[in-house]
Amino acid sequence: MTRVDDGVFSGVAASARRRLPRLFADYVDGGAHGEWTMVRNREAFREWGIVPRGLKNVETVDAGVRCFGQEWAAPFMLAPVGFAGMLHPDREVGAARAALRCGVGMAVSTFSIDPMEAVAKVGGAPLAQIYVFRDRGLTRDMLARAAQCGMDGIIVTIDTAITPVRERDVRNGFRHLSRPTLIQMAGMMAHPRWCLGMAGRGTPTIGNLAAYTSAHGIMGQAKDMAAQIDPTLDRAGLEWLRSEWKGRLVVKGVMHPEDAGNAIAAGADGVIVSNHGGRQMDPSPATLDVLPQIVDAVEGRGDVVLDSGIRRGGDVVTALALGATAVSIGRPWAWALAAGGETSVEKAIRALSQEVVDILGLAGLEDIAALRRRGPQALWKL
């Protein structure tokens, strides 16, 4: 397949690919089926230029934004990434610390190695990503835990009713990892830094879900719990979730204006325009392509965050010019974590923030409010 470019994250992406055993590197990098969606997500940004402007006072540029009721120093958050804690011993808690220091948002995946309670302790009011499980009692328990540990809101992911084939994972036997084969073991041993780092943390479990399954090993646990994701979830199911959760509710995986309208009508406070970074539907349109229709459907009744393919400051500014409140990054922070733990995540966040500031300045925009005022006129369709 065409290798998509990793933008400002090229260094950490390359380092992650060197440091991680192949099956984890491919787990992060890969997408569903032909991986066309991943390519399209990047290509869509190339169709837009940002018009340079001069004769404006841009001595100080502020990229801060208000999103999901929080104030962020830069207009992006860390997306929920399952198994991130398997990439480096600093785990999700380390990433949360980096996000907090940089003043950006963070969401904890249902499939996180560190339980949400540990991530919440870091502070900075993260958001808990949840699924509606077939067992509503179990879903209620996740909600109760989220409320109890002080999560600022929940993000319910709706694009995983079906688990598609990810060919790289099939090739690597990723989903059968509970009993590693000799080849898999050899592949791990060939990455001693990763092995040593992980060995110090004992037998990994999906800390966030371990209490709900008696399966052994992270893959057994993941399989058990993935089977719990409720494929019957519909608008009534979302309304049920709304009635159970009093805090902020965000719906993730929205790619159609009608779904956005339904989410808002069911009481969601915002949506995340996402094709799961090309890991679910393939082929799917790029998120940037569908963004304007979704912004129209939401009609200002909630925040609209976009993810999938954000790799440069220019991508962030383009998405905001087309109506996104903010954006979210998945693989980039996973690569950074794998490359060098918490410190690398912090550097990666700062690198992206700096690019956003530079691009805003070069476009003659002193802040995000000015970008919103200029809107699509800040752009040039190539």
Q: Which helix (H) or strand (E) holds 116?
A: helix 116-122
Nearer to ligand FNR, 191 or 276 (CB): 276
Q: What track of x and - describes contact with ligand FNR for positions 317 through 346 (by CB under 6 A)?
A: ------------xxx--x------------
Question: 156: which DSSP letter?
Answer: E
CB 266 within 8 A of CB 38: no
205 binds ligand FNR (CB under 6 A): no
Give least dist CB 59 to ligand FNR, A: 32
Give least dist CB 67 to ligand FNR, A: 16
Contacting range for ligand FNR; rule: CB under 6 A; set: 16-24, 75-83, 115-123, 235-243: 75-83
Q: What track of x and - describes contact with ligand FNR for positions 119 through 158 (by CB under 6 A)?
A: ----------x---------------------------x-
Which residue has the closest beta carbon to ligand FNR? 330
The phi, psi pair for 302, rounded to 5°, reads -170, 170
Nearer to ligand FNR, 48 or 76 (CB): 76
**In a 3-state reduction of DSSP, which class is residue 73?**
coil
Give least dist CB 274 to ligand FNR, A: 4
Provide the token pair at 19. 């440091």
Contacts of residue 4, Cβ cutoff 8 Å, sequence gap at least 6? 38, 39, 41, 42, 309
The phi, psi pair for 252, rounded to 5°, reads -110, 135
Binding residues with ligand FNR: total (CB under 6 A):
24
User: Which one of 75, 207, 270, 309 is in contact with ligand FNR (CB under 6 A)?
Assistant: 309
Provide the token pair at 165. 């084939």
310 binds ligand FNR (CB under 6 A): yes
Distance CA(372)–CA(289), nearest Å, equals 18
CB 305 within 8 A of CB 271: yes
Q: What track of x and - describes contact with ligand FNR for positions 173 through 192 (by CB under 6 A)?
A: --------------------
Nearer to ligand FNR, 163 or 293 (CB): 163
Question: 328: which DSSP letter?
Answer: E
Nearer to ligand FNR, 262 or 308 (CB): 308
Find the DSSP H helices in 299-367. Answer: 313-321, 331-362
Contacting range for ligand FNR; rule: CB under 6 A; set: 162-170, 188-196, 275-283, 295-303: 275-283
User: Which one of 58, 61, 81, 128 is in contact with ligand FNR (CB under 6 A)?
Assistant: 81
User: Which one of 16, 20, 23, 28 is in contact with ligand FNR (CB under 6 A)?
Assistant: 28
CA 281 to chain centre: 16
Question: What b/e sequence results for 98-117 when a residue is b if at least 16 CB atoms lie within 10 Å of its CB, and e otherwise?
Answer: bbbebebbbbbbbbbbbbbb
Amino acid (one-letter) located at 376: P
Contacting range for ligand FNR; rule: CB under 6 A; set: 7-15, 145-153, 215-223, 306-314: 306-314
Amino acid (one-letter) located at 314: G
- 234-253 residues near ligand FNR, rule: CB under 6 A: 252
- 90-119 residues near ligand FNR, rule: CB under 6 A: 109-111
User: Which one of 308, 325, 344, 353 is in contact with ligand FNR (CB under 6 A)?
Assistant: 308
Does 283 sit behind a cis peptide bond, omega within 30 degrees of 0 on the bond before it?
yes
Residues with catalytic roles: 276
Contacts of residue 96, Cβ cutoff 8 Å, sequence gap at least 6? 106, 108, 119, 122, 124, 126
CA proximity to 266, closest of 288, 293, 292, 245:
245
277 binds ligand FNR (CB under 6 A): yes
Interface contacts to ligand FNR, rule CB under 6 A: 27-28, 79-82, 109-111, 129, 157, 252, 274, 276-277, 279, 307-310, 329-331, 334
